[in-house]
Structure 1
C-alpha cells in the first residue's frame, strides 16, 4: 500500500490523530510507520493475535503518544496480551486526558502495592472511591495498611456480619458506598475470607484456622483453605491440616499427598500483593460469571501482574480469556504455572480442554495418554482420556478409559453420587461403540444409584426408544425425566418421541413443538417433529421441519432427511 494511503487510513481510523496542517508537515517516514503499525494492530486484533496486536499498538502509541484512541486500544490490547509495561504506558496518556478507565486505576494500585509504594497505593485507593470498585475498598485498604504497617488492618475489615454474596458484585457505581466509614457499617463482599487470610499472614494461626473452618460451608476459596493447611503443616499439626484439605478436587488430593510427605504447600509468607491478587482473581471470576467484559479480563490479568507465582491468578485469567473467545491466549496463560504447583493437575485438565478448543486434538490425546502411563494415574486422568476419545469418536477406547476410571473410584470406596456420572459416561460410550448390552448394564446401574437423576432417566429411556426396545417402560422413564426437568428441550423431545412411538400423535406433536421452540437449531428435534407431522397428515409442515433439521444435520442423517423431503416418510427413512 502506498505511503499516502497508509496516512489516509490512519486519519480515518483515528479521527484527530493528524490535523491537515500537521499531516502536511509530518515526515513521510513517521506518518507511514504510525499508520502501518496501527492498521497492523487492528488487523491482528480482529484475528485474535494478541501479542501482534499489542506490539502494533505499542509502535503506534510511540509515534502518537498523546492520541487517546490509540492509548485506549493499546491499554486493552496490552491487558489481554499480559503486557504490563505497555498497559502502564498507555494509562499515562489516558490519565493526562482525563480518560482513565476504572480498571486502569486498579492496575496503578496493584503495581504500587507490588512495588511497596504505599503513598501511590493510597492515592490510587482514594481515586477508586468513586469508581465501580468502591464496594471492595475496605479490603484493599486493609491490605495496604498490612503491607505498610501503618495501623491495624483487621479494624478496616470489621466484625463478621452477614455479607452480600460476592457473585452479586455490581458494575454500578451507585451500588456501593463511596466514602470510608466505620467498618461496622460497611457491608463488604470478600471481607470474611480476607480476614482469615490476614489472620494467617499475621501469624494468628488459631484465630485464622477457626475462621477458615467457620467459613468453609459458605464456599471458601480453595486457596484460603490451602493457606490455613500450609500454616498448620509447618507447625507440625498435620492431622488438622489434612482435615482442611478434604475433598475430591485435584488440588486437595495433591495437598494431602504433600502434607503426608512433609512437603510445603505454599510459600511461608503471604504479602499485601498476594492479598490484592487473590481479591482481584475472585472478583474477575465473579464478574465473569455474569458476562465476559473487558473489566473481568483486566482484573484477571492484573491479578497475574500482582502475584505471578499464584496459580489461581493464571487459572482465572485462562478461564476468562477462553470465555472471551481467546483460547490460544488462555492456553498460553497456563504455561506460567509451575509443574510442581499444588494446582498442577487442575491446570493439566484445563490445558487438555483448551488444546481441543484450539483444534489440537491429537496433541491433547497424546498428552492425556502420556499422563496415564507416566505417573500413577488418577480417576480424573482416565476421565479426561475418555472424554478425548469420545471427542474423536473412538468410542470403544473411550469406554475402556471410563472403565478404568470407574475401577479406581470404586477402589477408593466411592459410592452413589461419585459413581453414577462415570457409569453414565461408560454406558454411553459402550452404546455408541455398538455394545448395547454392556451399555444398558452400565446405564441401568447408574439408574439404580441415581433414580431421580433426569439425565440418567432420559439417556436410558431414549436409548431404548431408539432401538424400539421395552418402549412402554422407556416411555415411563422419559416421563419421569420430564417431570424433573420440564423445560429441558432434549428431554421434552424424548417425551414427544415416546408418545409418537406409542401412537399418541396429538401429545407427541404438542411435546415436540415445545421442544423445537426451546431449541430450534436441534436437528433431531426437528426431524422427530417432521415425522409426527407427516403421520398426522400435515405434509407441508413435515417437509418444513425436515428442511430445518437438514440445515445442521450430520451427513448420516442428512441422506435420510433428503429422501424424506423428496419422497415422504417411509419405514426406511423413519427417524431412529
Structure 2
C-alpha cells in the first residue's frame, strides 16, 4: 500500500473515532465536523451520509442537513428524516412543486408508515395554499372519518379554510367541534387566534370557551403562551409539526430523536412561533442538549413570555445556578401570576435555599385559592410547605400553628398527618398526639415507606422496640437508599440488642449521609448508641 494511502486511512479512522466519541458525549456539531472530514476522504463509506444527516439535525445545521438529505435522496435512500428536511427546504424557498414532489417521493405501499401519514395530509393542504390550488382542505377531509372525525384534523381544516379566505366556513366548522384531547385543545388555541385575525371574533370567543371547558381550567404551560395566528403555509406546517413533536415527546419510553426531528423541522419553518420554540426546548433538554435549549430561551432584545422565562429559570437551576434561577423565576411569576407558575417559582426558590422567596410564592398561591375541594387540598399542602420552610430555619413556634391549620383543613390526609406528627416527634413534642396522627396516616397508606418510617420511629421513641424494628425493616425495603430510614433502623437494632446489624446499617447510612448525619454516625460506630447520638 502506498504511504499516502495508509496515511489517509489513518486520518479517516481517527476522524471516525472522534465522530463516535462526539456522538456519545452529546456534541453533534463536533461529530458533524468529523464526519464531514470522513465523507470528504472516503465518500463511498457506507452509512456516513445518514450519520451526517442525524448529527446535522441534532446540531440544528439546516445547510448540512439539506446537503446530506439531498445526497441520500439522489442515491435512492428515501429516508423519512431526509424527506422531511427536503420538504422544509422547499417550503422555505416557496418552491411548492418541489415540496409536493418530496412529499410524494416516499409513498408507503404497505400502509404501515404511521408517522408519515400523520403529516402528509396537513403538509399537502398547506402546499396547496401556497400554490393557490382550489379546495386545499381535500387532503385532510380524505383521511378524516366523516362519522367520527378527529377534532385536531377538523381544526386543521379550519385553519386551511381561513388561509384560503373562507373564514366564514371555518367559523361555522369550529362551532360543531368537541375538543376531546390535549392535541385538539392546542390546535384550537391557534384557530381561535386566527379567527380573531380574520374578523371572526365571536366564533373565536366561543371556541376559547370550549378550550377552557375541555381543559378544566388547568394551566397547561402551552396554553399560557401568547395567542399567535396561523396564516401562511410555513406557519401552518410548523404549528402542526410542533404539536406532533410535543405529543411524541410525551409517549412513555419513546425515542428522544423523533420529537427532536419534528421540532427542528418546525423551528426551521417558523422560528417566531412560541409554541414551536417551547417544543424544541423540551426536545433538546430531553436529548441531553440543555445548553442549546437555554440558548433558545436567551431573550436578547425580545421579551420572553412568562411561561418561557420560568422554563429558562428551571434550566438554570438544573445547571447549578440556583440563585440566578430563583431571581429569574420570581420575575416570571410577577409577569404572569398564574397558579402553575407560582408553584414552579416556589419550587425553584426552595431548591435555591431562599425560604423568604419561597414563602412569598406560597403566600401568593394561598391568597389565590378558592374553597372547592381541589383548592382546599392545595391550601393544606401549601400550609405544610410554609411550615417546612420555618422548621428548616428552626422556627417551631411559627410552624406549629400552620401545621395545625393544615390538619384541621385536611384531617384525613395521610401526608399532612404524617408530616405534622413526625415534625413534632423529632423535636420530642406532643409524643402521644404525634403517635396517634402517624398511626392514622399509616392505616390510610400502609405501603408508604416514609409513613412506615415515621411510625416505626415513633414506636422506638415510646419504647416499643420490637414493633419499631418490624416497621422500620418494611420501610427500608420500600426505600433502601433513604439514609434517614437506614439510620433509624440501625438505632432500633442497637436498642433491640442486635448490635452487629446496627453497625451494618450505620455503615450503609454513612454512604448516603449528609455532613450532620455523617458526624453522628461516626460517633455511633465508635461508641455505640447514646442519647446524644440517637437520630432526631
TM-score under structure 1 length normalisation = 0.76
Query: Cα–Cα, structure 1 residues 421 and 316, in superposed 2: closer, same or farther, change >3 Å?
Result: farther
Aligned equivalents of 1:123, 1:207: Cα separation in 2: 32
1:346-385 to 2 correspondence within 5 Å?
346-371=307-332, 375=335, 382-385=342-345
SS at match of 1:290: coil
1:83-482 to 2 correspondence within 5 Å?
83-92=61-70, 103-108=81-86, 116=96, 117-127=98-108, 134-147=113-126, 148=128, 149=133, 152-159=138-145, 191-203=150-162, 204-210=169-175, 212=177, 214-216=178-180, 218-220=181-183, 222-234=185-197, 235-237=200-202, 239-240=205-206, 242-244=208-210, 246=212, 247-249=217-219, 265-269=228-232, 272-274=236-238, 276-287=240-251, 289-335=252-298, 339=302, 344-371=305-332, 375=335, 382-409=342-369, 415-482=375-442
Deviation at 1:152, TM superposition (A): 1.5
Deviation at 1:107, TM superposition (A): 4.2
Q: Spell out, residue by residue over 1:368-390, the C-alpha distance to the aligned partner (whole angstroms, 9 max, x if none).
A: 354467x5755555544433332
Query: Cα–Cα, structure 1 residues 359 and 32, in superposed 2: closer, same or farther, change >3 Å?
Result: farther
1:43-58 to 2 correspondence within 5 Å?
43-58=21-36
Deviation at 1:201, TM superposition (A): 3.1
SS at match of 1:552: coil
Is the deviation greater in 538-547 or in 137-146? Answer: 137-146
Query: Cα–Cα, structure 1 residues 534 and 251, in superposed 2: closer, same or farther, change >3 Å?
Result: closer
Q: Spell out, residue by residue over 1:447-472, the C-alpha distance to the aligned partner (whole angstroms, 9 max, x if none).
A: 44444544333322322222222333
Q: Is the 8 A contact 1:458 1:481 kept in 2?
A: yes
Is the deviation greater in 357-366 or in 442-451? Answer: 442-451
Deviation at 1:558, TM superposition (A): 0.6
Q: Is the 8 A contact 1:129 1:137 kept in 2?
A: no
Deviation at 1:95, TM superposition (A): 5.7
Could you tell me which runs of 5 or more consecutive residues in structure 1 were left unpaired when the two chains were aligned.
Answer: 1-20, 163-183, 185-190, 259-263
Could you tell me which runs of 5 or more consecutive residues in structure 2 were left unpaired when the two chains were aligned.
Answer: 163-168
TM-score under structure 2 length normalisation = 0.81
Q: Is the 8 A contact 2:523 2:533 kept in 1?
A: yes
Deviation at 1:550, TM superposition (A): 0.8
Is the deviation greater in 44-53 or in 545-554? Answer: 44-53
Query: Cα–Cα, structure 1 residues 25 and 122, in superposed 2: closer, same or farther, change >3 Å?
Result: same
SS at match of 2:179: helix
Q: Is the 8 A contact 2:480 2:486 kept in 1?
A: yes
Aligned equivalents of 1:75, 1:201: Cα separation in 2: 31
Deviation at 1:159, TM superposition (A): 2.6
Deviation at 1:124, TM superposition (A): 4.5
Query: Cα–Cα, structure 1 residues 118 and 265, in superposed 2: closer, same or farther, change >3 Å?
Result: closer
Q: Spell out, residue by residue over 1:325-346, the C-alpha distance to the aligned partner (whole angstroms, 9 max, x if none).
A: 33223323434899567xx222
Query: Cα–Cα, structure 1 residues 291 and 208, in superposed 2: closer, same or farther, change >3 Å?
Result: same
Query: Cα–Cα, structure 1 residues 486 and 75, in superposed 2: closer, same or farther, change >3 Å?
Result: farther
Aligned equivalents of 2:300, 2:232: Cα separation in 1: 19
Q: How many residues align?
A: 512
Query: Cα–Cα, structure 1 residues 253 and 70, in superposed 2: closer, same or farther, change >3 Å?
Result: closer
Q: Is the 8 A contact 1:232 1:240 kept in 2?
A: no
Deviation at 1:539, TM superposition (A): 1.2
Query: Cα–Cα, structure 1 residues 219 and 509, in superposed 2: closer, same or farther, change >3 Å?
Result: farther
SS at match of 1:215: coil
Aligned equivalents of 1:368, 1:63: Cα separation in 2: 50
Residue of structure 2 equivalent to 1:546: 506
Q: Is the 8 A contact 2:260 2:280 kept in 1?
A: yes
Deviation at 1:252, TM superposition (A): 8.0
Is the deviation greater in 239-248 or in 518-527? Answer: 239-248
Aligned equivalents of 2:189, 2:450: Cα separation in 1: 40
Is the deviation greater in 194-203 or in 267-276? Answer: 267-276
Q: Is the 8 A contact 1:285 1:296 kept in 2?
A: yes
